[in-house]
Structure 1
Amino acid sequence: MRRIYVPTTGPQNWQTLLADPEKQWRTGYSARTLAHCWEAAEGLPPEIAALFGPGSELLIAIPEHKVSLRDAGRESQTDVFALVKSSNRTIAVAVEGKVNESFGPTIADWYQEPSPGKQQRLAFLCDQLGVECPPRSEIHYQLFHRTVSAMLEAERFKTDDAAMIVHSFSPENKWFDAYAEFVDLLGLTADLGRLVSKTLADGRTLHLGWAKGARDFLAT
């Protein structure tokens, strides 16, 4: 895991951090669109700021941030990890960028004939989220580990709260229904452009949100 970071000089710096820089860096796709949006904002993009309320402030943002899930498996690579200040509270935020891309395999697909490592990981993720293991099979695995990565970083950075935000640039809000199913699993009701929240076992608050990005960035 990287411990030393340097400032970016523009969206092009984000490309080198991708798992497949050539394949993933395409106009109209999430990696490039997200990079141009966040670099243009010089702070929080307005739709992200709107979720956290008036006066919310970006303290730091780290593209393609890897978070250990406390096992020997692959780290959770967050599109943007941010520390945000809002109403005198500091929030560890994992941002998942989307255009038309799905959230990857469902639990049903990912957990077929699971190895001991997968069993250990899913049990850990479910325990962190306070849900039954195994969870409902139609929910996407990515939403589990991305949300827990925010919770783990909240603990590591000693922030007040944690948040997982889907930053979507899809005009049709594609895959919102998949996000809503995950939110429902946590006993909440998803809404466009609004945070929903629950109290975690450690006393922190977990926020979940869907932010709709400006379509202009799809052409950059």
Structure 2
Amino acid sequence: MAKANRIYIPSSGPSAWKQFLAEPEKQWRTGYSARTLAHSWEMSQGLPLEVARMFPNESELLIAIPEHKVALPGGGRESQNDVFALIRHGDLTCASMIEGKVNEPFGPTIGDWMKEASQGKLNRMTYLCDLLGLPVRPEATIRYQLLHRTASAIIEAKRFKTDEAAMFVHSFSPDRMWFQDFAAFVHLLGCSVMPDQPAEVRLPDGMLLRLGWASGDMSFLAA
């Protein structure tokens, strides 16, 4: 596998995000998550307020990288995260993955993803469970995307040697579609969650993992 380029350049605005999408012409549409998220983050000139509220102290965005890919064992497909953000709050630094949503689902369930699973998929699932401190494979109804997005945050927290990791869903859905799927995933990790109220999980190695559902400014749906 070719090594990813590690050189990044400043964004010229929301439209600059389009080029990094897996399917730009399909995904870059008004009212859809990719475009809505880009406008929200660019117009915030830092952290969107609803994401900043996920932290107990005053927070600062250090750097944000759209469509950030994180390699996972057990196959060639990486986890392509909507935004990777290094966030400073108080005296701590947090490696955060942001998953943007409007009405799009979280992709296949674990049951669907593991049908006739290859050895690579079995290896990946074992790795994800170990990283998240899960003693057994999650039930079939849990969304696979939530596992690997959260794992991406933990992997990058270790790589950048930050104090914490976080995975936030930045939702622009008026009806909070798919929140129950997110809540089921958080419950799997041992705690409960409400919209716009962060949850905290202590990982097996002692690192703090923050999880949250941040309700975005729906005016960006028209951007």
Q: Name the TM-score class by shorter chain.
A: over 0.9
Which of 213, 216, 219 in structure 2 is aligned with 1:213? 216
Which of 7, 10, 15 in structure 2 is aligned with 1:12? 15
Which of 177, 184, 188 in structure 1 is aligned with 2:187? 184
- Superposed, 1:34-183 pairs within 5 Å as 34-183=37-186
2:98 & 2:111 partners in 1: Cα distance? 24
Does the Cα contact within 8 Å between 2:73 and 2:123 map onto a contact in 1?
no
Letter in 2 for 1:161: E
2:53 & 2:193 partners in 1: Cα distance? 16
Letter in 2 for 1:184: H
Letter in 2 for 1:85: R
CA-atom RMSD in angstroms: 0.9
2:185 & 2:16 partners in 1: Cα distance? 32
Does the Cα contact within 8 Å between 1:125 and 1:148 map onto a contact in 2?
yes
Q: Tell me the number of residue pairs that the alignment of Structure 1 and Structure 2 aligns.
A: 220
Letter in 1 for 2:157: A
1:2 & 1:53 partners in 2: Cα distance? 34
TM-score by length of 2: 0.97
2:76 & 2:176 partners in 1: Cα distance? 31
1:94 & 1:24 partners in 2: Cα distance? 19
Gaps of 5+ in 1: none
1:54 & 1:203 partners in 2: Cα distance? 21
1:71 & 1:134 partners in 2: Cα distance? 16
Which of 204, 207, 217 in structure 1 is aligned with 2:207? 204
DSSP 3-state at the match of 1:74:
coil
1:19 & 1:179 partners in 2: Cα distance? 23
TM-score by length of 1: 0.98
